[in-house]
Amino acid sequence: MERTLRTAARTEGERRLLESFTAIPPDQPVRLAKRTSNLFRERTRSRTPGLDTTGLSGVRAVDVGTRMADVDGMCTYEDLVAATLPHGLAPLVVPQLRTITLGGAVTGLGIESTSFRNGLPHESVIEMDILTGTGEIVTARPDNEHADLFRGFPNSYGSLGYATRLRIELEPVRAHVAVRHVRFHDLDALCAAIESVMESSAHGGESVDYLDGVVFSADESYLTLGRQTDDGRHPSDYTGQEIYYRSLQHDGPEPKRDLLTTHDYLWRWDTDWFWCSRAFGAQNPRVRRLWPKRYRRSGVYWKLVALDQRLHFSDRVEARKGNPPRERVVQDVEVPLDHTAEFLRWFLDEVPIEPIWLCPLRLRGERTWDLYPLSPGRTYVNVGFWSTVPGAGPGGESGATNRAIERRVGELGGHKSLYSDSFYARETFDALYGGESYAALKDAYDPDGRFPHLYDKAVRHA
């Protein structure tokens, strides 16, 4: 059903949000009242009630004719995709995990295998309504009086406000995705292939609509090249006993081919949280048979991690072995393509984590974004790694591995996402994440400091 988009009066959900904002004492930090999250930063617990976001988690309208959607800020991509796929449409970038919200992907950045041609999720936003620190909801567009907030909202992580509604572009998709897993024995050759696909949207004479990759070691890495198709004969299913990332691996010189429904392709990484489900035994065939299918999803694994962080079970296990707590290294970094092979070699030599996810990206146009200043026209590769490493012993530097990664990424002209632990000094942080622009936005839209400062959230666990 086609529905016409319009900017409506305040919804009941927005009214409840505003009421809950007013009820929070002025000297207390304002946060969302969320039971789940895709953040991996520790944060100071607060006894103050958070913002009431009930009623802000749906799809307001999908306009098939204009290929746009109006979506609540707390709507998950899982719900949005469920609303758009029946119309043969999808968001321009669908982050990998089902429970990521639209507002979260914009204020905290997101990425996926269409990012090599569609950039980042906030680049497909046409306008958004944002609750600011002054207690009002403003509509920000690239060409109105709140254009500065529109440019500065991405990567602000709720420190400037929260999106209550977003109007986004959609693109047509077909019913299935045919994939080729191309193996490389050399990281320079892998990066050369990325460059070629970025320029031509093709590889080996076939078009490429989706592009990501996995590095298992210096001599075993893969690019997965996806192509939209209506050929739906015998699609694979990786929600059962088979595990998606293991399906990439092969020894032969020819690409390994596969077929998934578009729905299953979009959520191919969610079932096993990429490969992180192995930490819970969910990839053990015996355990997997007993693990209910509906609980094989990232949101469940995240809750298990959060429970472990509260109970310190893993730390106690390490203590019994005579070891210090392990250091969590859960990060995504953007490295310029011309330095990606160099970074990967350094990482494989210095950090005992594998596999590593790769996702090439390039901004869609010439517009820049104040708090995450990537260069238009330049190709970057998102490198994702999510595990733990041996912790520092008595007298050792906390977060030593994370700090080393931050330094190396900085030396190579890259950035890292702020959804997890960060250790930057304030001056370095401000230089990397638009300090002067951020300060001006903070003064304009949160003059009383109702929301925690970005540096306090990202580094000081506020």
DSSP assignment string, 89-124: EEES---SSTT-BHHHHHHS----TTHHHH--GGGG
pLDDT single digits (tens) 278-335? 999 999 999 999 999 999 999 999 999 989 888 999 999 999 999 999 999 999 999 9
- Whether the pLDDT of residue 172 is over 70: the answer is yes
Lowest mean pLDDT of 2-6, 161-165, 417-421, name the range: 2-6
Q: Which two tokens stand for residue 448?
A: 């009383």
Q: What is the pLDDT confidence band of residue 45, given thresholds at 50, 70 and 90?
A: low
Residues 6+ apart with CB under 8 A from 137: 10, 14, 18, 129, 130, 131, 164
CATH code of domain 12-173+450-458: 3.30.465.10
**Mutual orientation of helices 313-320 and 298-311 as an angle, nearest 10°?**
60
What backbone torsions phi and psi does residue 318 show, to the nearest 5 degrees? -65, -40
Please give the Cα distance from 181 to 42 (Å, whole number). Answer: 36
Q: To 10 degrees, the CA torsion angle through 195, 196, 198, 200?
A: 160
Tabulate helix, strand, coil % of the chain (nearest 5). 35, 25, 45
Q: What is the pLDDT confidence band of residue 31, given thresholds at 50, 70 and 90?
A: confident
Specify the higher pLDDT residue, 8 or 345: 345
Tell me, what's the pLDDT at 35? 60
Q: Assign residue 96 a region (left: φ > 0; alpha: ψ between -120 and 50; beta: otherwise).
A: alpha
β strands within 256-407, DSSP E: 256-261, 327-336, 356-361, 380-389
* Average pLDDT of every residue of the chain: 93
Tell me, what's the pLDDT at 47? 65
HSE-up of 52 (CA within 13 Å, CB side)? 15
pLDDT single digits (tens) 231-283? 888 999 999 999 999 999 999 889 999 999 999 999 999 999 999 999 999 99
Please give the Cα distance from 135 to 121 (Å, whole number). Answer: 26
pLDDT single digits (tens) 93-150? 999 999 999 999 999 999 999 999 999 999 999 999 999 999 999 999 999 999 999 9
Tell me, what's the pLDDT at 141? 97
Question: What's the mean pLDDT in 373-395?
Answer: 92
Tell me, what's the pLDDT at 14? 93
Q: Which residues pair with 167 in a beta bridge?
A: 70, 127
Cα separation values, 450 from 53, 67, 307, 457, Å: 17, 36, 29, 13
Tell me, what's the pLDDT at 217? 97
Tell me, what's the pLDDT at 2? 43
Question: What's the mean pLDDT in 159-184?
Answer: 98
Tell me, what's the pLDDT at 41? 55
Q: To 10 degrees, the CA torsion angle through 44, 428, 130, 444?
A: 110
Tell me, what's the pLDDT at 320? 93
Q: Domain residues of the chain, as ranges?
A: 12-173+450-458, 176-268
Please give the Cα distance from 115 to 110 (Å, whole number). Answer: 9
Q: Which residues pair with 140 in a beta bridge?
A: 128
**Total Cβ atoms within 10 A of residue 315:** 16
- Please answer whether residues 4 and 63 qualify as being in contact, where contact means their C-beta atoms are separated by less than 8 angstroms: yes
Tell me, what's the pLDDT at 37? 61
Specify the higher pLDDT residue, 210 or 310: 210
Q: What is the pLDDT confidence band of residue 3, given thresholds at 50, 70 and 90?
A: very low
Specify the DSSP class assigned to residue 276: G
Please give the Cα distance from 215 to 221 (Å, whole number). Answer: 4
Q: Which two tokens stand for residue 330?
A: 């859960």
